[in-house]
Every structure is written in structure tokens, then in C-alpha cells.
């Protein structure tokens, strides 16, 4: 169904984090970007809005891709707990925390022992993510808290 058509969408009753008429998709089309246990639902995407609102859910111990890009992420944690890397800092996150990922900042989200679900607002027109090359990875691993975060499986 076209996300532009419905004025109101009902939350499905099974788990509270899926919506009627909203497809639950793989996180990314490209298989080149490493990630684990994450789905994506686009909640709002309209030609008369400059932004999009998506809901991501990371399974226990899963993680998003380590990446950076020019566009900003505005994130509201909705369920669960975990940690995120933003730049050179690792933050504990839990339901209702807000996380801003500024432009060109390395970032990754990791779920703890329960699903980590969050809303993420982005520009509708945005650049593609960049993955770290060997030099960038070496720079990240030079910082002990970041290295410990990235080393976790």
C-alpha cells in the first residue's frame, strides 16, 4: 500500500510495534553492509514532507551498520535497551531517550538482551551511507571504549 494514501493507520495488536499496511522490510537492500537482526518500517513518507519517519527494530544482541553520511539522524528509542556509538562516544540507551547523530559522524546501534526499537527521522532526500575503510577502522579502534564496543559479538 502507498504510504501516502492512509490518513490513519492502526497499530497491529500482536506486539504493538507493527502497523497495518506498513511493510516490515529488511534493514538494507545491499548485502555488503554488515548488520545483524534488524528490520525497517517506513511509517511516514510523503511528497509534501521534507522528512521521513522510520521504525527500526534490532533483535537481542543484533546491531545496525557502522556508517556515516551527510544527513542527520534524529532518534527516539521506543522500546528495549542497548548502546550506541556516536562519534567517539558510547552511550547507554533505553526507552524514551533521544539520540542525535550529526553529519559525517560514525554511528552504530546495538541491542542488549531484549529487542531495541527506535524511531528515526531523516531527510527524504539524503546521501548514501559510507562504510569505514581500513584507515577509518584503525582510527576508531585506537580509542579503547570504541574498540571494546566494536569488538562485541
Q: Which residues contact 13 (CB under 8 A, 6 or more apart)?
A: none
DSSP 104-147: T--EEEEE-SS-EEEEEEEESS-PPPB---HHHHHHHHTSHHHH
> Phi and psi of 125, rounded to 5°?
-100, 110
Residue of 38, 84, 90, 120 marked active site: 120
| Residue 84 a catalytic site member | no
Which residues are the active-site residues?
Answer: 120
Amino acid at each position: 500500500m502507498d504510504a501516502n494514501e492512509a490518513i490513519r493507520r492502526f497499530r497491529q495488536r500482536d506486539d504493538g510495534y507493527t502497523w497495518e499496511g506498513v511493510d516490515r522490510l529488511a534493514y538494507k537492500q545491499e548485502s555488503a553492509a554488515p548488520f545483524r537482526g534488524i528490520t525497517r518500517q517506513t511509517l511516514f513518507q510523503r511528497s509534501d514532507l521534507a522528512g521521513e519517519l522510520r521504525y527500526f527494530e534490532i533483535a537481542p544482541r543484533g546491531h545496525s551498520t557502522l556508517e556515516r553520511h551527510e544527513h542527520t539522524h534524529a532518534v527516539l528509542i521506543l522500546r528495549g535497551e542497548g548502546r550506541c556509538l556516536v562519534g567517539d562516544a558510547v552511550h547507554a540507551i533505553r526507552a524514551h531517550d533521544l539520540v542525535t547523530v550529526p553529519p559525517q559522524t560514525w554511528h552504530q546501534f546495538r541491542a542488549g538482551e531484549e529487542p531495541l526499537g527506535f524511531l528515526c527521522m531523516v531527510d527524504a532526500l539524503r546521501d548514501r551511507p559510507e562504510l569505514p575503510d581500513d584507515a577509518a577502522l584503525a582510527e576508531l579502534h585506537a580509542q579503547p571504549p570504541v574498540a571494546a564496543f566494536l569488538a562485541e559479538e
